[in-house]
Chains A and B, each alone.
Chain A
């Protein structure tokens, strides 16, 4: 007996369960590795998988086995120089001698390195994070519909009449209904052509045939050119359109007091928010606004890499953000998120303006607004004013962070799942 079974199209990922269990079991180690990876990564390759490395001894599968030492005799192949009785330095050969005999499971291996896909990488990272109100927003999505084509129907409004379809149907119907008459007509005409030379024009049979032919022709013509039965209308059905768009505003202070290190930290903060949105929305628009005394919208490249100096007027950036929302993202189809990074410097007189702008204009429009202050010293007036915003709105959050390694905890803090929300 010989049987060929084609399994190629069977369910893939038979190992998925085992893989998940592996992740679950080494969750702590893997998350530590992921956290390290985020800290060390540059922005261009953040959106990729990652090689995760775990100390091999953590996940060894021990078994009873023999260790090094004692007396053993091994047979090797390819003798090129030895004679019986020769004494040789150990090891016998430089390369292959690392493990002799039953060296497995001795726990001396290097780290266990494996690759997690981008998806898994991010999943691991965002596992228990969710934006506040996100669930709420998702459940209470504005039921927006779009019309999509769904074939043809026999009823409809005249505006939806599909002429080609209708005419095609009519043609088919006419052909079908006329077929028996045409067949007879053809026969009769042929009979007539045969009879006339034999019997002459005035014969009864000839006359009868002529009458029949005339009758058949009227019958054929009597078939209606188009019937209400033929009409076809374009059918459209309404499909709910999920709002899977988000716009994220990155606001950053690029004044002289923001040094490279602080920008690095800010970069990672934006990065994480961006990735998080990417996971939840199909399309994420990112708007980069940088400011010193004046604000401008820039490309990502300029945002992170060009240097500016001068004073700081934070409200300029908030004003610009508000304008952009009004111009481009005012429809209900956008979920808006704001993320602001600064070192906390601001003109004293400007901070209350910022506060009012946020409370009155921006926070009501956005899903969430996060502010991080990258500074070591005492909080300044901007922080104090923002505290008042935070007190007013649960959709506004703020944090102070010191260096790179603080980012991950801060991120968790900002976006931690609110159990009851």
Chain B
């Protein structure tokens, strides 16, 4: 977002032609913010949010400089994180683009923690600060606290402590085993991070104390387990010749990091712990990747609703509103597909439009809405939005609530790209025949299972050469990209033995598509 320009002369005097209010004096809106003012604005926002029934974690606002914001960027917004060169790389990239003016810094970062931490940048005007508080401290915050993905998969109360534990533990490992080894291990873990999450199984809650306690027990225990698995004594004689060889694991394992942590034969206990740390953090971020549209849209909806409510009470000066609207429209702009600024569907725009539309369907439904959404048309909007916020993710939210009217407003159209055809084909547009197809296609576009390849652990040859076979289940003939070879190297580094990748095609044929050989015991770390 570009740096803001304040409209007109800013001063502390109340606007002369003061707004709609019944004689209410607007809050001062000078260019310069102050902590007292932030607290006053928050007081008003909190009152309104409570009135709307928003349920939030306690709020902790942190004031930071632009430089600190870039630091925060580099570590995915987390206030404390272990050290790794890749964060340095991100910092350098951000810094360069920021200093060149190619990008503004996002004006907010908010952390799914309890209390909910939101950063405010020193450079922002008072208007921006108020906007960010409404957006992050009420919008995102309430979403984090109530959406089922977050409540099921993340532990807001434990994350900061856990990150602290992770950082200290990794620093300790660096001292004991050398930065180089830890770095290599982290590189490999990061390569598998996006496939290092449980998609269906609920993970245990995070707690610093328990984590520390259990970490040592786990070390001893896991190591014992692993050793048992790789026992070299010929204890199992029941594998008869000709019989289908028993696979390990018996069922494919989708969580690659989990499998590595539990079963990689050569890892030392501290290495397993680091694998676990990366896995836990990946899991923590997993819901955010699945609720981008909903979450950002929800936050935009609420900053818009709350600030407008304040304005309607006469508490905001006109110049405040003009500045606010400028930022707001920037954030939710959706350039058309042929614009040079087009970079896909803007999740802020889509999300905001959907929540607004949902409210409209509740408050002022027309015949079409009654036909498409008989259950919610005309119902209480707060109940309806609350229900939708709690129980959906992007994919299902779009499948459920994208209305024909919005499809028309955004002029959505679906394009079928088949590399065997010479031309692209427009498969559906915003007309009566196309609504359902577009809704379906857009929903799939936010299905992570569709965006990421399905690669699972298929077999570890525990009786033979200990090689590991991953299986990629191909859909729509879509291949893995070129980086795959590199990723296999990382997998082999973790596994310690040869790693193969098979591709299961849609016609049922299986082909070896990648292999990373590891000579005996070499490269095992």
Q: How far is the CA of A107 from the CA of B481 in the complex (A)?
A: 9
Is A101 close to B, CB under 8 A?
A: yes
B136 within 8 A of A: no
A269 to B425, CA, bound (A): 63
Q: Which of A1-52 contact B (CB under 8 A)?
A: 1-8, 10, 12-15, 17-26, 51
| Known interface pairs A7-B62, A69-B477, A70-B478; A84-B434 also in contact (CB < 8 Å) | yes
Q: In the complex, A100→B339 CA distance in Å? A: 15
A393 contacts the other chain (Cβ, under 8 Å)? no
User: Chain A residues near B474 (CB, 8 Å)?
Assistant: 70
27 A-B pairs (CB sep. < 8 Å): A1-B58, A1-B115, A4-B35, A5-B61, A18-B75, A18-B86, A19-B91, A25-B85, A61-B190, A62-B486, A64-B195, A64-B452, A64-B483, A66-B481, A70-B474, A70-B476, A71-B476, A72-B416, A73-B414, A75-B438, A76-B345, A77-B334, A87-B423, A88-B424, A88-B425, A96-B339, A102-B452
Contact of B191 among A3, A62, A69, A114 (CB under 8 A): A62
Neighbouring B residues of A12 by C-beta, 8 Å = 65, 67-68
B11 at the interface (CB under 8 A from A): no
CB < 8 Å neighbour of B85 from A5, A22, A73: A22
Say yes or no: A69 contacts B425, CB within 8 Å: no
Which of B1-9, B93-101, B149-157, B357-365 is the interface stretch?
B93-101
A89:B424 contact, CB within 8 angstroms: yes
Q: Given A59-B89, A76-B413, A100-B417, check contact A4 B340 (CB 8 Å).
A: no
Docked complex: A94-149 residues within 8 A CB-CB of B? 94-96, 100-102, 105-107, 112-115
Contact with B along A189-200 (1 / 0, CB 8 A): 000000000000
What 9 additional pairs, Cβ within 8 angstroms, besides A24-B85, A69-B477, A113-B96? A2-B59, A8-B63, A12-B67, A17-B83, A51-B96, A62-B191, A63-B483, A76-B415, A77-B334
- CB distance A70 to B83 under 8 Å? no
Q: Is the interface of A mostly helix, strand, loop or mixed?
A: loop
Secondary structure class of chain B's binding surface, majority of residues: mixed
* Chain B residues, CB < 8 A from A85: 425-426
Which chain A residues have a beta carbon within 8 Å of chain B's beta carbons?
1-8, 10, 12-15, 17-26, 51, 59-80, 82-90, 92-96, 100-102, 105-107, 112-115
Q: Does B455 contact A (CB under 8 A)?
A: yes
Of A7, A20, A74, the residue contacting B64 (CB under 8 A) is: A7
**Contacting residues, chain A, for B429 (C-beta < 8 A):** 79, 82-84
Q: How many residues of B contact A (CB 8 A)?
A: 98
Shortest beta-carbon distance from A69 to chain B in Å: 5
The answer to whether A78 and B191 touch (CB under 8 A), given A2-B39, A72-B478, A93-B338, is no
Docked complex Cα distance between A26 and B190 (Å):
18
Residue of B nearest to A24 (CB): B85
Known: A64-B455, A77-B411. A2 touches B426 (CB 8 A): no
Shortest Cβ gap from B449 to chain A (Å): 11
Task: Give which listed residue, A2, A64, A94, A100, contacts B480 with CB less than 8 A.
Answer: A64
CA distance A51 to B441 in the complex (A): 43
B434-466, CB < 8 A from A: 434, 438, 441-442, 444-445, 451-453, 455
Instruction: Flag if B58 contacts A93 (CB, 8 Å).
Output: no
Are A21 and B414 closer than 8 Å at their CB atoms? Answer: no
What separation, in Å, do the CA atoms of A82 and B431 have in the docked complex? Answer: 11
Q: Assess the A89–B423 pair: CB atoms within 8 A.
A: yes
Determine whether B494 belongs to the interface, using a CB cutoff of 8 Å to chain A. Answer: no
| Contact residues in B for A89 (Cβ distance below 8 Å) | 423-424
Complex alpha-carbon distance, A321 and B513, angstroms:
72
| A6 contact from B63, B340, B433, B479, Cβ within 8 A | B63
B93 contacts A112, CB within 8 Å? yes
